[in-house]
Amino acid sequence: MEPFRQHEFGWRVALDFLLSGTGSSMFIIYFLSAGSNRLVYMLGPVFILAGLAVLLSELGKPSNFWRSIYNYKTSWMARGAIFNILYILVWLAMILAYILNLYAFPLYAIEFALSILVLIYPVMLLQDVKDIKLWKNGWSSVMTAVYAISGGASLDAFIISLYQPDVLTLAYISLGISLLALVLLFAYISALRREQYKSIEYSLRQMLEGDRQNLLKLSFSGVVVQFAMDLLFILNIPAKPFALLVGFAFSMAGVYSFRLMLLNAGFHEPLISDKRIKEITASLKIGHKN
Amino acid sequence: MKYAMVIDLTKCVGCNSCTAACKIDNSTGFGVKYGQVLELESGSFPDVTKFYLPILCMQCENPECLKVCPTGATFKTDDGIVLIDKNKCMGCRYCAAACPYMARYFYDDSGRPLDVPRMDLEDERHGTAEKCDFCIDRVREGENPACVQACPYEARTFGDIDDPSSRVHSLMSRAKSLKEEEGFNVSVYYIW
Amino acid sequence: MQEAKYINTTCSICGHNQCGVIVKLVDDKVVQIMPNREDPMSKGSICPKSIASVQLLYHPNRLKYPMKRAGPRGSGKWKRVSWDEALGEISEKLLQVKSEYGPEAVVMARGTNRGSWIRLFNRFANSFGTPNWTESGGAQCFTPRSIAQQLTFGGIALEWPDAESSKTIMVWGADPPASWAPKSRKIVNSKSGGSKVIVVDPVMSNMASKADVWLPVRPGSDVALAMGMINVIISEKLYDQEYVEKYTVGFESLKERVAPYTPDKVSEITWVPSDRIIEAARLFATNRPSSIAISATFDEIVDPIQLGRAVSIISAITGNVDVRGGNIFPETAGQIYVDTNDFIMIESLPEDLDKKRLGAQRYPLLSRYLKINFPMAHYPTILDAIITGEPYQIRAMFIMGGNPKLSIANSDRAAEALNKVDFLAVADLFLSKTAEMADIVLPVASWLEYDGLADSAQATYGHLRIRQKVATVGEAQSDTWIMIELAKRMNLKGFWNSEREYLDYILSPTGMTFEQLKGKGGIIYHEPDIGSKLRNGFNTPSKKIELYSERLKGWGYDPLPFYNEPFESPYSTPEVAKQYPLVLTTGRRVSAYFHTAQRNVPALRDIYPDPIVEINNDTAKKLGISDGDKVRVETRRGFVIMKAKLTQGIHPRVVGVQHGWPDIANDNRLTDNTACAVGIGSTTLRGLLCNIRREKQ
């Protein structure tokens, strides 16, 4: 029997993941680079909010969204909802602190921690689907996270270049992470090739030969262009922030393609193994017994 | 008390009477099949063998769908049936993605093209996940699930697995299940 | 909400009155249909069509009142009229044609037998005086195999496998799980009890999935396979010597005739491995009693009489006719009280009209009265007559429960003819593709909407049950009611004043009325008297089973079966095969649809949403076709577009298409209606040449 493809999560879920991944990772990167521009910190949650809006539009009964925090004990989606809501609340607090001009570092630190949670919840959410071996795969989780961070870093680099064109730290970070993503992508594919699961075999076929191969190509080119543009910027070759804008656009396309590919190439393991089918047919003595 | 179903693959000829009965009884829309019959073959012509595999919600003891459900809409009854509270479900489809048995559907009433009887219920199911519930309303009134009642070949047996006098109980010694190595502890079994 | 009510009745969604069902009503609305496990005949058999009848019954597109065309033909403009007006106009028109052009200018055509006795339509036509009544089935269903069996053993034993007592059951050209639920149940139960099943089918069908031996015959070469099996049975001396001597005639000539059909040669013709032919023949002949179940393939190959004869002979020489566990002769109840020949008033039709019947010259076995048949006109000849005006012009057509625009071979020609006929009246449940062309359409009741008597000459094993009215939809009326009312208006002899009077007439020899029978449980059962033919002689001139048929010889046909290659095949037309290399079998069935019907029932359409063509994986791979692709299947006549289903359960050079789908997926665009079977006029639906390619998706 052939593995069956999942149809539940599609382009909207990928978009939600893209927005929340970008928002959270731009916060993380900027925080780690000890950035001081408060507006950049404010921007991350806007993405998350947009992501939530996309998610709501995907729901069959959005009016029940408030219930989604109930089953946090076992469901990563419930946990994700909680992280997102807390994230927004802390963001509101940050805005308040900004307006009142209060000391806000603890809020930033909390938001940083929440950013990490928001970053990892989609990874864990997919990881928790036992039956879709592509999602369950550890490499998929690593790739999802690295891709998200590369997008965030690219965005950070671009925005900062508008304010401080001479500071190259973030461009270097973006360069490094895009290179990492590129290298990992090859490792990822070859790691998947070694998997024994039939569903992963199908996933790979979808990614490499099927109607998902453009997505793979796009996620590949995304990080390549990001890398190239960061390099141009660092080497100070032609137009300045413009290169980073192009890099960011490609990066987004790459991250989105990767997410979409991961969702669309998700196959369930066959309901019944070929071995079991043989066992049944042999014992039923149906067909011809040659 | 635990309800279970045992399906005899030697008797199923893939006529889909069960599927039709299920669709009528549960008033499901297009593309939604709480139960369906798969056709499987092995070998190559002319030495080919084929059989039919009816599938439905396996009513796991450790359901993945329940685990991942964020709202707590999915719950288990004392008699071992996994149910969905339509008022709590927010329609995120996570359960459908997590179900290892293709048993969960997302309900969207655009799939109902016609005002046809048994498809025209005032629907609180709209926008939620749905699936086989072993026809719990019928079962609690002492009837069999629709698919069991419809099967012309009596290939399906339904009953309380904990009751030593029940037919399902007596069939259990030979029964096997799908993906049993995964430890979901299902309530739908097959014999062949 | 009221208490639910449960009513026992008999389903007839397939026209064969097979299954006893229980209808659940709430507030006088049908809500559920379930199998009746207490029914002594069907014992719980049911099919998706029956279960989903609740959606058919209350379907919003049901015809609810008679309608008259209010624009050009086929324009879709209709005007509601009363029954009185509709029936008045039909009878006036038919009588006018009769008086101006003669009764033969009126064609009466039947399709699905919606539970009324099909012979009632026969009687209606004969009483009206037209020899030109026909069935969409006609030469394509039951008639050829019935005649072949009448000639061989004077009855239709192959319809009646006593499967529950058989040790071996051979299912040939039939898929009981898709179309004969009670027979299927008997076979599956027998199999569970340890009996062996042989299935002859080019495609691994539902039934073949339960086969111990599957014989994937090249479509259309079935006769060769049967001859090969007879050859094995005779040359290995596996036949029942005593039975053959006592109860058959012509064994020696048969032996001579089958001698060239060695397993190797037959394997070459039929593409079935020779060891498998031998295995099946041995199993059938030695693991006795053995029975045979057949169906429409026996009417849809190039020379169906030969197949019916040859397979009857397999059963006869192995001593399996009229024995427990073999093929038996139950009385078919309901109509047993009335002599069928009397009932259809065949004698009221003058000899000259019998000769004038369209098809009488070329297809006498179908269209002349030979006392072993119920002669009917040949459908393709009728269509030709409408189009060409030869040998005479057809002026009016009354179609009941048929959809010839889809169901007649080379359907484009059928559409042309329907468009050309002066007056067309159609009675149906829905505005079918055929009804769309009509001048007047009449709304017909489904099986849940009228009282009736239910049995079948092919399926009910001596049981007569009643059907009960449980619902009313619009002004829809039963076929029987329509015929009786029309007969009244046309002053036809031999008709009744009401449906009830008719039912009582049929039951009168039992001394019961319909109401009384209903009060007594609604079932009459006649235990088949197995062995009576062996004791008293078969209903043939020689009183024995005629392996060699003097009657056929007398009519100028071969008295022994012989194999005829299909009119187009890789062997008979190798030049055609260059362009069309694959062998096609049309008419594949699924359990959810009866011929062209039920595609509009949502629950059923969801189970089988697409028209399917089955093709071998390896062939598909070579042609770049993947599972689920849209493909074009083309013959010399036309093409269809269907969805490919890849399987190993079909020969790499064979393709199987489903039938009954409308428009571009109508498999009768592929079939031919000119090369009809000798004597009987069947068009070839199994064993054509085609090619297949991937369509733009």
pLDDT in tens, C510-548: 889 999 999 998 998 888 899 999 999 999 999 999 999
Q: Tell me the HSE value of C358 on the side-chain side, using a 13 A CA sphere.
A: 30
Query: Do the Cβ atoms of C114 and C478 come closer than 8 Å?
Result: yes
* Residue A101 contacts B where some CB pair is shorter than 8 Å: no
Q: Determine, yes or no, domain membership for C504.
A: no
pLDDT, average across residues C341-354: 86
Same domain, C605 and C649: yes
Same domain, C105 and C122: yes
Higher pLDDT, C87 or A45: C87
Do C607 and B23 lie within an 8 Å CB cutoff?
A: yes
Number of domains composing chain A:
1
Same domain, C273 and C156: yes
Q: What residue in A sits closest to C275 (Cα-Cα)? A: A290
Do C210 and A288 lie within an 8 Å CB cutoff?
A: no
Grade residue B118 by pLDDT with cuts at 50, 70 and 90.
Answer: low
Model confidence pLDDT, tens digit, residues C350-382: 888 889 999 999 999 999 888 888 899 999 999
Q: Determine, yes or no, domain membership for A289.
A: no
Same domain, C17 and C34: yes
Output the pLDDT for position A267.
94
Number of domains composing chain C:
4
**ipTM given for this complex:** 0.94
Give me the CATH number covering residue C96: 3.40.50.740
Do B50 and C649 lie within an 8 Å CB cutoff?
A: yes
Output the pLDDT for position C637.
93
Q: Determine, yes or no, domain membership for C163.
A: yes
Do C178 and B154 lie within an 8 Å CB cutoff?
A: no
d(CA C112, CA C126): 19
Model confidence pLDDT, tens digit, residues C208-237: 999 999 999 999 999 999 999 999 999 999
**Max CA-CA distance within chain A?**
85
Chain A nearest CA to C288, separation (Å): 20
Which single residue is written with the structure tokens 């031998």? Answer: C278
Q: What residue in C sits closest to A284 (Cα-Cα)? A: C210
CB-CB neighbors (< 8 A) of B30 in chain C:
602, 605-606
SS3 assignment, position A129: coil
Q: Residue by residue, what is the 3-state secondary structure of C228-270?
A: HHHHHHHHCCCCCHHHHHHHEECHHHHHHHHCCCCHHHHHHHH
Chain C nearest CA to A70, separation (Å): 36
Give me the CATH number covering residue B49: 3.30.70.20
Give the burial class of B61: count Cβ atoms within 10 A of its Cβ; 0-12 exposed, 13-18 middle, 19 or more buried: middle
Q: Which domain holds residue A192?
A: 4-284
Q: Determine, yes or no, domain membership for A290.
A: no
Number of domains composing chain B:
1
Percentage of residues of chain C with pLDDT beyond 90: 83
Chain B (127-166) residues lying within 8 Å, Cβ to Cβ, of chain C: 149-150, 152-154
Grade residue C336 by pLDDT with cuts at 50, 70 and 90.
Answer: low
Output the pLDDT for position B110.
59
Q: Which domain holds residue B90?
A: 3-191
Same domain, C322 and C347: no
Give me the CATH number covering residue A248: 1.20.1630.10
Do C213 and A285 lie within an 8 Å CB cutoff?
A: no
Same domain, C598 and C631: yes
CB-CB neighbors (< 8 A) of A74 in chain B:
66-68
Do C58 and B116 lie within an 8 Å CB cutoff?
A: yes
Output the pLDDT for position B109.
61
Q: Tell me the HSE value of A30 on the side-chain side, using a 13 A CA sphere.
A: 30
CB count, 10 Å around CB of C542?
Answer: 16
Q: Determine, yes or no, domain membership for C615.
A: yes
Output the pLDDT for position B112.
53
Chain C nearest CA to A221, separation (Å): 29
Looking at C589-680, which runs of residues are DSSP E strands? 612-616, 630-634, 639-647, 654-658
Same domain, C321 and C356: no
Percentage of residues of chain C with pLDDT beyond 70: 99
d(CA C561, CA C313): 9
Do C648 and B48 lie within an 8 Å CB cutoff?
A: yes
Model confidence pLDDT, tens digit, residues C42-55: 999 999 999 999 99
Model confidence pLDDT, tens digit, residues C274-313: 999 999 999 999 999 999 999 999 999 999 999 999 999 9
* Residue B51 contacts C where some CB pair is shorter than 8 Å: yes
Model confidence pLDDT, tens digit, residues C625-655: 999 999 999 999 999 999 999 999 999 999 9
Output the pLDDT for position C232.
98
User: Strand B82-84 relative to strand B74-76: parallel, antiparallel, unpaired?
Assistant: antiparallel
Same domain, C186 and C321: yes
Model confidence pLDDT, tens digit, residues C128-160: 999 999 998 889 999 999 999 999 999 999 999
Q: Which domain holds residue C398?
A: 67-139+341-447+475-493
Q: Determine, yes or no, domain membership for C408.
A: yes
Output the pLDDT for position A285.
64
Q: What residue in A sits closest to C280 (Cα-Cα)? A: A288
Listed in sequence order, the residues at least 6 apart from C281 whose beta carbon sits closer than 8 Å to its beta carbon are: C228, C229, C232, C233, C236, C238
Span of A70-79, C329-338, C551-560, C673-682 with lowest mean pLDDT: C329-338
CB-CB neighbors (< 8 A) of C652 in chain B:
45
Flag whether pLDDT at C323 surpasses 90.
yes
Same domain, C105 and C154: no
Q: Determine, yes or no, domain membership for C417.
A: yes
Q: Determine, yes or no, domain membership for C506.
A: no
Grade residue B116 by pLDDT with cuts at 50, 70 and 90.
Answer: low
Give me the CATH number covering residue C269: 3.40.228.10
Query: Do the Cβ atoms of A248 and A241 come closer than 8 Å?
Result: no
Q: What residue in C sits closest to A282 (Cα-Cα)? A: C212
Flag whether pLDDT at B114 surpasses 60.
no
Which single residue is written with the structure tokens 């969604």? Answer: C13
Q: pLDDT (tens digit, 0 to 9) for every residue of chain A, 290 residues total? A: 889 999 889 999 999 999 999 999 999 999 998 888 888 888 888 999 999 999 899 898 899 999 999 999 999 999 999 999 999 999 999 999 988 988 888 999 999 999 999 999 999 999 999 999 999 999 999 999 999 999 999 999 888 888 887 788 888 899 899 999 999 999 999 999 999 999 999 999 989 987 778 899 999 999 998 888 888 888 877 667 788 888 889 999 999 999 999 999 999 999 999 899 998 988 876 544 43
Residue A275 sits at the vertex; the CA angle it makes with A269 and A277, to the nearest 5 degrees, is 85
d(CA C685, CA C297): 8
Q: Residue by residue, what is the 3-state secondary structure of chain A?
A: CCCEECCCCCHHHHHHHHHHHHHHHHHHHHHHCCCCCHHHHHHHHHHHHHHHHHHHHHCCCHHHHHHHHCCCCCCHHHHHHHHHHHHHHHHHHHHHHHHHCCCCHHHHHHHHHHHHHHHHHHHHHHHCCCCEHHHHCHHHHHHHHHHHHHHHHHHHHHHHHHHCCCCCHHHHHHHHHHHHHHHHHHHHHHHHHCCCCHHHHHHHHHHHCCCCHHHHHHHHHHHHHHHHHHHHHHCCCCCHHHHHHHHHHHHHHHHHHHHHHHHHCCEECCCCCHHHHHHHHHHHCCCCCC
Same domain, C85 and C214: no
Output the pLDDT for position B119.
54
Model confidence pLDDT, tens digit, residues C585-607: 999 999 999 999 999 998 999 99
Same domain, C300 and C189: yes
Output the pLDDT for position C429.
95
d(CA B73, CA A68): 9
Same domain, C224 and C134: no
Give me the CATH number covering residue C36: 2.20.25.90
Flag whether pLDDT at B2 surpasses 80.
yes
Chain C nearest CA to B145, separation (Å): 12
